[in-house]
Structures are given as C-alpha cells and as structure tokens.
Chain A
C-alpha cells in the first residue's frame, strides 16, 4: 500500500515539477478563466440587478471550461514528447498512473479555483470568506478531475485531440455542474447548510462512483 502511494506521488511530483518550471498551463488557463468571467458579464448585459441569478452560472462556466482546457494538457504533454510510451513501460498498475495524473489534475484545478474565485467574488461584490463555497468547489473539482483525467487519456489518442475532450467530458459532468450551481446560489445568498445538503450529497456520490469506475476502466485506455 505504501509503495502504491509513493508511486502515485512520484508521478504527481513529476507533473508538478514540469508545471512549476514552465508555468505555461496554469497561466493560460487562469487568463482564460478570467476572460470567461468578463465576457459573460458583458453577455448578460452588465445589469446591477438580477446578478445573483447569473453569478453562480458565470463562476461555474469559467471553472468548467478552464478545467477542460487544463485537462487537455494532462496527457497531451505526455503524448507530444512520446513520454506516454515511457510512462506505460513503468512496471506499475495502470490505476497508479491514473491516480498520479488525477492528483496533478486536481491540484491544478484547485490552484485555478483559488485564484479565480476571489476575483469572481470581488467582481460581483459578494462576501469573500465563504467556506461553504470552498467545499462545493473542492467536491466539484474532484468530480471534474476524475472524469477529465480518464477522458484526457482517451482524447489524446484520437485524431481530433483538442475538441474530443470537451465533447466527451461536458455531457458526463452535467450532474456535477447542476449540483454545483444549485448549491452555489444559496451560499452566495448567505443561506445555511441545510439548503445545500442534497447537492453536496449528489456531488459526493458522483465523485465516489466516478473515481471507482475510472480506476477500474483506466487500464483499457492505456493499452498497446
């Protein structure tokens, strides 16, 4: 068990080092997410009233589409430099590769969310300290990462690489998006835990189901 964990950590650390040195993915995704926030603001007519209805949606569109961009990179970097074969040559369970990549994807999305959310809250004049929102975001990101890592491995091995991931990813994470947005609405309005409990439960169930299914199915994706 310890060995498994260390192997996962090694894969995770490799990705972290690469990203820390170049910082190319995080910067581009951050800028993109910010742009989404701004453009959607214009798209909704910049009204001062009624903003509490559209604000949660705007945040989650930014995070979802930023996430898609980021997850595209998870396996694309491996594919580009022919490192995918090298990774597959490692004498480890395929599931270990999945979890290593998952850890990287999750951390990456968490970093994006940590930067984007306060900016979002400030832009829409909402309170900045919202622990409930933090929980919603973490749960949703786990779901995104679970699905995104799996589908990234699929998409990267097809011809229409970049467009394939959103097509695969977005329909499947619909429950997470719905639950996240519906939970964010009462949180931004200052409501209590009771209002968001069911949505949290849905996200937790989705996360668990997809982490298990993806772990089981991942070996069929990285095969040769």
Chain B
C-alpha cells in the first residue's frame, strides 16, 4: 500500500472488518425473521447494499472516466477501471441473490420489471467496458475507449430505467416489498449498507493502487527496453 496513506487504509480496514462482523451478527442472529416471507427475506440485507454499491461503483466509474479523458492522469483511469470491475462483481451478486430471493417469494426467478431489467442492462454495459479494455490493441487505447463506454453507458442507465418503467406500467408488476421496515430491520440494513460501502472503498483503493503500480512498472520496462 502507498506509505503515506497506510494509516488511513488501516483505519478503513479495521472499520470495514468491524462493520462486516457486526453486519453478519445482525443479519443472522439479531434481526427477527420476517413474518410474511420467512428466512429467505434475510437475503434482502445483502441484496440491497450490494445493489447500492454497484450503482455507486458505476457512478464513480462515470465521474473518473470524465476526469481521465479530461486530464489524462493514469490514477483516474485506475480508479475508473477498478470501480467498474468491482461494479461488475457486485452487479453479478445482485443478479444472483435477487432470483434466489424471488423464487420463494414471488414464485418466479425473474420478471422484466424496471429495476431488474436495468440491473441486467447495467451488467451488460459494464461487461462491455471490461471487454473493450481487454481487447484493445494497446493499454492507453483501452483506457480511452473504456472511459468513453463508462460515460455513454452510465447515461443510458436512467433512460433504460424510465423506458422499462413505462413499458411495465402497462402490465401488473410484482410487489417489491410488503409492509414497512421495523426498527431492528432498518438498523440491520443500515449497518449492512455501511459495511459494504466500506468494503467497496477498500477494494477500490487497493485495486487502483495496484493498477497504477502496474502501469508504472510497464512504463519503466518499456523505457528500459529502449
């Protein structure tokens, strides 16, 4: 890790660890079982924070893609790319935990409502982001192209959501959540959101540092080769 930030990083690590342990305790032991949907409802405490983090990750990718195209500093691209990778992983988790929850509760694995469809399209757009990076002929080009995808793709997300919403209001939709959140449930959810957000920040910092170092090493290697 970067020396001058190691105190900050260690604090974050400790905080993240504590939050995650607390989250696990609260989800599996503290919070009472939901009387409408039963045990499977506990997935909600992982599903919602993971979904929130995946959107946060793509927003960060969007912002840092713009910054990278504007300033061309490698560290902006490193953050954008790492954030996109984490975003893809978290979106995959959303798309897996969602159906696991949905099957016992709604009776179906999937429905084409606005939230699910937008998550799926989001996943596809950011997989394309990663593919463009990998298939580019040089890393600098890959960075530039994926930054373009990061911007164009993110702008598409609200459009997709609105369009599917409009489409689906013509059909009956499954009710996402019945009843309100009792206080223990709300606290548990907030702790989980905090835990996953800290996890995201930690992973992004680590990953971005790693990528920056990789780029530096490659640059040095190329200079030495001349």
Residues of A within 8 A of B (CB): 147, 150, 154, 157-160, 164, 167-168, 170-172, 174-175, 178-179, 182, 198-199, 202, 205-206, 209-210, 213-214, 217, 220-221, 223
Contacts and interface: CB of A to CB of B under 8 A. Distances in A.
Given A150-B152, A157-B136, A171-B125, 17 more contacts: A157-B145, A158-B132, A160-B131, A164-B135, A168-B132, A171-B121, A172-B152, A172-B153, A174-B156, A174-B160, A175-B162, A202-B166, A210-B152, A213-B155, A220-B144, A221-B145, A221-B148
6 contacts: A150-B148, A150-B152, A157-B137, A158-B132, A167-B127, A221-B148
B186 interface: no
A167 B128 contact: yes
Contacts, number: 84
B137 A217 contact: no
B152 A214 contact: yes
A182 B124 CA distance: 22
B102 interface: no
A158 B136 contact: yes
B106 interface: no
A182 B163 CA distance: 10
B69 interface: yes
Contacts of A221: 144-145, 148
Contacts of A214: 152
Nearest to B166: A198
Contact of A168 (B128, B147, B162): B128
Residues of B contacting A: mostly: helix
A206 B152 CA distance: 12
Contacts of A178: 163-164, 167
A154 B163 contact: no
Interface centre among A147, A167, A174, A202 (most CB of B within 10 A): A174
Given A172-B153, A175-B159, A179-B163, A167 B148 contact: no
A169 B94 CA distance: 23
B147 to A, nearest CB: 7
Contacts of A171: 121, 124-125, 128, 153, 156
Give the size range of B's interface with the partner: 20 to 34
B187 to A, nearest CB: 37
Residues of A contacting B: mostly: helix
Nearest to A221: B148
B164 A213 contact: no
A213 B128 CA distance: 18
B131 A164 contact: yes
B148 A154 contact: yes
B127 to A, nearest CB: 8
Closest 5 CB pairs of A and B: A171-B124, A158-B135, A175-B163, A159-B135, A160-B135
B149 interface: yes
A213 B132 CA distance: 19
Nearest to B142: A158
A208 to B, nearest CB: 11
B151 interface: yes
Given A158-B145, A168-B149, A178-B167, A220 B160 contact: no
Contacts of B128: 167-168, 171
B140 to A, nearest CB: 9
A168 B124 CA distance: 8
Contacts of A206: 159
A168 B151 CA distance: 13
Contact of B159 (A159, A205, A217): A205
Contacts of B115: none
B141 interface: yes
B206 to A, nearest CB: 28
B166 A154 contact: no
